[in-house]
Chain A
Amino acid sequence: MGFPQRRTIVLAVLVTLATYALLLPAWMQWRGAYGRGVAAAATAVVLPLLDVEGGVSSEASASVATVYTLRYARTGGWGRVNQRLLNVPDLPLVLAGAVGAVFIPWRRRAILAVAGTVVVFLIHLGLIGTTALRLAAPLLDPALDPSRLDDLLYQRAEQIGAYRDVAPVVVLSVVALLSWALSRPSRRVH
């Protein structure tokens, strides 16, 4: 059926885990910068596309917090909502998965790493855009009671934030699909 042999599988899992362990300390240093990059892209591109007034920022301390600043109709000012959506291991995991895909050649693994990173970045942008859209609706409703508004904002931020629980599965699915696409038989004559 073309599935890798057991030795290759053990090697793939070990290489993935070892690479992930090596990348993790660097990721802990750089995750804030990545979060700020995603937030900036969301503010510059995604929110205007969705016609949502406001912006997104990212703060990294003990964890990565995504902060939504959106128009609040009741006061005419801005409402701020915090979320831990980007506190996820996606980027080091996609890179580790690409390095660990030992059943495809290095050049294709490099392509896998780049393509996987782009897909993960787009997923994060999509999740931030969806959150912003879902948070903006109650904030723009001036008739909504403030305590009900608090509940709604918390619920909606947490609903999308549940992505954190399935993030490794999503990332590994992306790696699997891209590995499949990149493992086509070579047309080169050896």
Chain B
Amino acid sequence: MVKSPPSSRRVILTYILIVVVSYPVLNWVLGGSGPIPWVNGAIDALTRSQALVSAGMLRVLGEPVRVRGTLLAGSGFVCNVAQGCNGMSAVTLLLAGLMGYPTAWRRRLLGLAALVPAILVVNMVRIAGLYWSGVHHRERFVDMHVYVGQVFVIVLTVGLWLAWLSWVSRRDEP
């Protein structure tokens, strides 16, 4: 049972609310079709590069695949790495979590530097896995996309973010 004092509970609630409110705003700005053109361009480049790296992973595993922009194609199957599939939703959630917590900027930046690449790597593994399932178990592709890959990345992101919180809260203790 958590027996933290009321003030701590208030801090935690404020923090959860900051994350819940800032997530949609960040998701809109960083979603790939937001209000800032250069950000949209960067997100597009990130999506394309993820498609390239995922294709590289698949080739290493012996899966023949071609890449055109954000499209992965081969073996009679084509899949598009769409804006919602580039891991930015998870990165945005992490960003909201890092920004909202009252701690030193150095610790936030450390969290950002360590966790964003980890999330993107996991997402590229997810893309490669989805393509593989599309080629070999096409009837399961939608389920793998909606029920497995997406949930795995988000739960893992929440776990990484909680681990960062635990690390930061221990260092911030007087």
Residues on A lying within 8 angstroms of B by beta carbon are 1-6, 9-10, 12-13, 16-17, 20, 24, 27-28, 62-63, 87-89, 92-93, 103-105, 162, 164-166, 168-169, 172-173, 176-177, 180, 183-186
CB closest residue in chain A, given B150: A168
CB closest residue in chain B, given A6: B166
Annotate B2-46 by CB proximity to A: 1 below 8 A, 0 otherwise.
111100110111001001100110010000000000000000000
Interchain CA distance A169-B161 in the complex, whole Å = 13
Q: Which residues of B contact A12 (CB under 8 A)?
A: 159, 162
Contact B163 A172 (CB under 8 A): no
Interface size class of B (residues with CB under 8 A): 35 or more
Select B1's contact among A1, A166, A185, beta carbons within 8 Å: A185
Q: Which residues of A contact B148 (CB under 8 A)?
A: 24
Q: Which residues of A contact B9 (CB under 8 A)?
A: 2, 180, 183-184
CB of B121 closer than 8 Å to a CB of A: no
Contact B166 A5 (CB under 8 A): yes
CB closest residue in chain A, given B96: A169
Binds A, one of B54-62, B124-132, B138-146: B138-146
Q: Which residues of B contact A27 (CB under 8 A)?
A: 147
**Closest chain B CB from A181 CB (angstroms):** 9
Contact A169 B162 (CB under 8 A): no
CB of B156 closer than 8 Å to a CB of A: yes
Contact B16 A180 (CB under 8 A): yes
**Closest chain A CB from B69 CB (angstroms):** 20
With known contacts A13-B155, A13-B159, A16-B155, A89–B146 Cβ distance under 8 A: yes
Contact A177 B155 (CB under 8 A): no
Interchain CA distance A9-B164 in the complex, whole Å = 10
Contact B165 A3 (CB under 8 A): yes
Contact B155 A17 (CB under 8 A): yes
CB of B89 closer than 8 Å to a CB of A: yes
**Closest chain B CB from A2 CB (angstroms):** 3
Q: Which residues of B contact A88 (CB under 8 A)?
A: 146
